[in-house]
Amino acid sequence: MRFEDLVRQHAADLYRYAYWLARDRQQAEDIVQEALLRGWRAYPRLREQAAAKSWLFSIVRNEYLRAMESNARQPESLQDFDPPDERAANPGLEMREALLSLPASYAEPLALQVLGGFSCAEIAAMLGTTEGATMTRLTRARQALKRLVAPGSSKERKGGRS
């Protein structure tokens, strides 16, 4: 597969992931552009075409971390995350707020699984953790989300759902 075909196939997912990391459209675009440039240069050395998607996601993550190092700003939580055009009335707002309340150590593996469709082994390799640690983080993230959006949550106590 040519690099251009690979980019066409994964560009939207790479941007969503970069935006999730950076929480800023311009920075996400810059991160993806730099990541694709690095990917293009290294593409001839890619040995396993089947691993190309996770390879690109790893480059995006590394590029984001590189940008954060240069800005001397490290992410601590997802409290400031503001997806594009979601501030309008949104039936998924409760889930969005629950996702934002997760610690980054739980939210990042969940985002890679949901946005990127990666397996636990692939996520572990990208984050530099063990597969067991990744599975634990994913399980805890899901459990926390269930508690936060379960019936009897703050929304129902304030008068129920419509």
- 137 with 106: CB under 8 angstroms? yes
- pLDDT mean over 16-20: 90
Q: Is residue 91 scored above 60 in pLDDT? A: no
High-pLDDT (> 70) share of the chain, %: 78
* Residues of each domain in the chain carrying CATH 1.10.10.10: 90-152
Q: How far is CA 28 from the centre of its chain?
A: 12
pLDDT tens for residues 105-162?
Answer: 888 898 888 888 899 999 999 889 999 999 999 999 889 888 887 766 554 444 444 4
- Please provide the CATH number assigned to the domain covering 1-75: 1.10.1740.10
* Residues of each domain in the chain carrying CATH 1.10.1740.10: 1-75
Closest to 125 measured CA to CA, from 22, 53, 24, 77: 53
pTM: 0.63
The topology under which CATH files domain 90-152 is: Arc Repressor Mutant, subunit A (1.10.10)
